[in-house]
Structure 1
Amino acid sequence: MGPEVFLATEEQVQELLDNISKKTEELKNVAEELHRTGSTSEVEKCIASFNKCYTDFVTKFPNQSVSSLQGRLTYDIFSALPLDDKFWNDGLYFHSKAPWAVDPDVRAGISCVLVLSRIQEEFQLIAQELARAVGWAISHHAHLVEYIAYLQKRYDLLSKKDENGNRLSGVDEERLVPFDCVDGMDLGGLNRRLKIKLVQQELYTRIDEHEVLVKEWSEDIVWLWSMCQPLPNKPHIKQWHDLINRIRGRKVRSDSGVGIDETLEDTVIEAGALDGDEEDASDDLVDEVN
């Protein structure tokens, strides 16, 4: 199972992209229409009206400090004002008697609502990344387990013996178990069975490391999933719990010695492959390696 289980479908993504393209085209048309109708002159009329009102106010109340604006407002100054400038936020310029403009508690409340909105956006982003992480952890573990089982099946087939108790010939082995990517690896002259065991042992190491990572993540994953995920996605956490249970079951079998594959270690030690002492290895194992 991949992370796509937790995310939007292709149809939903395409619908979103279509809506974005449509809205972009609408905004482009509006911008072109405003440009054709000479919107700059309309803005300049508003600026002139603002300057007149501002001058009248300052003339009538010379002791009032009403703005940080120095001199008259021009179109160039207006168009360059940043969005956090007091010009856009000061209650002086719009419905100054309304509570949302002058009451400090109301204005603080507005800021809090905006902060909460931003937090919600961040939670949505976290939810998406969380879904991807969970999907990856589950699918990666499943892939490792499946490939280890695949290698074990090939090893068992290659270990078969004929009716006389002898190992199969190279031709019979290839017919029974066709070559794959593991057989094509250059591992110092090892035969097919030992190549499989070496790769399988490496995969066991990787899956152990992955399971440690999953267990370290688990508490945070469960908490974040309950906090961030939308309601339709919440049941999917069961798949994470199933993964944790499989990991615990494998750990129990490992601790009890069930399912532990020591064939590789025993074979390599007997063949002298770990310490480089091949002279002490038995002849049949040396022949197998060669």
Structure 2
Amino acid sequence: MFSFLDFINRILNYIDIDTKIKSRIYIIVGFLANIYLFYVSFKFIHNGFMTRGIVFFLVALFLLYFVYLNYFYYFTEKQAPFDLSSKIMHKLGIKPREPKNTSLRGRQSGIQNVRGAISNGYFKENRMMPAILSSNPSEVERINQVADDLINDHLMTANYFGSSDVRINRALKENGDKPIYAIGKGCYVPYFLLKFESGKYNVYIGINQANRLLVGHLTQIGMQKINQIDHNRVDIFLASVLLVGGPFKTEGRLNPVEHHQNYQLKLKIAFN
């Protein structure tokens, strides 16, 4: 039996498979192994080896309990009834590891960062302010195109962090019915450029310089309209570009309902 379990383990290690799916396979295999242990224990008892049979039976019962716990953890979103694992760990003197913030709500609070591409250098906070971008329909399509490039090149995830609808519904309730976005709070664009051309501050973005696209022009910095700024006296720089928006889900009657909208950009400008 143990040779068979080792064989299954080796096969799964050779296959590039999601950890959760792999864990589910282990649970199924473990359950089948438990059935075999129960069969062996009853055979021992039937043949008169009572002590050995009872030992095998108790071991199988003990292992079946943990199969039961793991079934609830990996196959459902519910807490297993009669979960004594915390008490067992306390009795054995085992301290639980600090839980990582792997909940959907925790992930949503973060921003995806493409290989450290957050800003165009360091600027002091008192020298930075938000800016408003104006984009025509074709430029909006280019923003969506850059988002697709980031997803296709695995630089950004847009799958609700792999969360099930059950978990998304729970997060929607926790967030006060605020929408859950497929990309979370957003993703920093790896390449961006601000150019003063034909009297406009044009913004270019892309996954790199070779694939940059014009996505609009600045209309306002902070509370000041762009036409009120003298570009001969004030130098402005694009400090960071955050991609936000895109598909999102809201709470439905049974399951979350997905809505589609264009991606948008949040800009931060530095000035001298």
TM-score grouping bracket, smaller chain normalisation: under 0.3
TM superposition score normalised by structure 2: 0.24
Greater fraction strand:
2
Greater fraction helix:
1
TM superposition score normalised by structure 1: 0.23
Bigger Rg over Cα: 1
